[in-house]
Amino acid sequence: MFNLTLIAIIVIILLIAIYITLYNGLQKAKVYTEESWSQIDVQLKRRNDLIPNLVETTKGYAKHEQETLERVVQLRNQLTSIPSDDHAQTMKVSNQISDSLKTIFALSENYPDLKANQNFLKLQEELTNTENKISYSRQLYNSSAASYDQKLLTFPSNIVAKIHGFQKVAYLQTNETEKEVPKVKF
């Protein structure tokens, strides 16, 4: 009788330990996913801080390109007013900003003085580096989201996830216009 009770206690303790391990694994994956999103947020803020300087530097050279510059500022302001938990809208506006920045960078080809301006070149380099960091952060987020979602779907952690109401997170998607094959003309 004593051995049976001892075995039952050991089994119960073992099951509790497994449950706690699974729960903690889910929590860690969730926190890692949230942290990887915050890395995107940090890079978006960095880009938002650089945009006014780029716009001001460009204004003096490209006065008739005012519409493009105003669009970038409008999108930047729109991005800063999006609720922090609306990841889809944040990425949609962020993609629009990236497209607009490409247009501003292309302006430098039409304005040799702007292309030679050291402030513009430095800002262009900073923004290019930031865009690369945003891209890397998106990859990191999708990887951590995949790991987290995998835990939600696999046995036995899926049982613990259901009990505690863990929810899948959405992957960041590539903008449809970026998937199009570029047209090359000679």
CATH code (residue 87):
1.20.1440.20
| Cβ(177)–Cβ(46) below 8 Å | no
Q: What is the pLDDT of residues 51-105, one digit of tens each?
A: 888 877 777 666 656 777 788 888 888 888 888 888 888 888 888 888 888 877 7
**Amino acid in position 129:** N
pLDDT confidence band for 177 (50 / 70 / 90): low
Residue closest to 51 by CA, chosen among 105, 115, 87, 90: 105
Domain-embedded: residue 184: no
Does residue 25 sit within a domain?
Answer: yes
In a domain, 186, yes or no: no
Residue 30 has pLDDT above 50, yes or no: yes
Alpha helices of 60-156 — where are they, by DSSP H?
A: 66-80, 87-110, 112-116, 118-153
Residue closest to 121 by CA, chosen among 46, 44, 58, 43: 58
**Does some domain include residue 154?**
yes
Cα dihedral sign, 186-108-122-101: negative
State the pLDDT at residue 116. 67
Residue 3 belongs to a domain: no
| Cβ atoms of residues 50 and 130 within 8 Å | yes
User: 19: buried, middle or exposed (CB in 10 Å: 19+, 13-18, 0-12)?
Assistant: middle
Confidence (pTM): 0.74
Q: Residue 65 belongs to what domain range?
A: 13-170
Q: Is residue 107 part of a domain?
A: yes
> Residue 186: what pLDDT?
38
Position 24, amino acid:
N
For residue 22, what pLDDT is reported? 95
Confidence band, pLDDT 50/70/90 cuts, at residue 147: very high
Number of domains composing the chain = 1
Q: Please give the span between the terminal C-alpha atoms of the chain, in angstroms, as a whole number.
A: 89
Dist CA 142 CA 145 (whole Å):
5
Residue 10 has pLDDT above 80, yes or no: yes
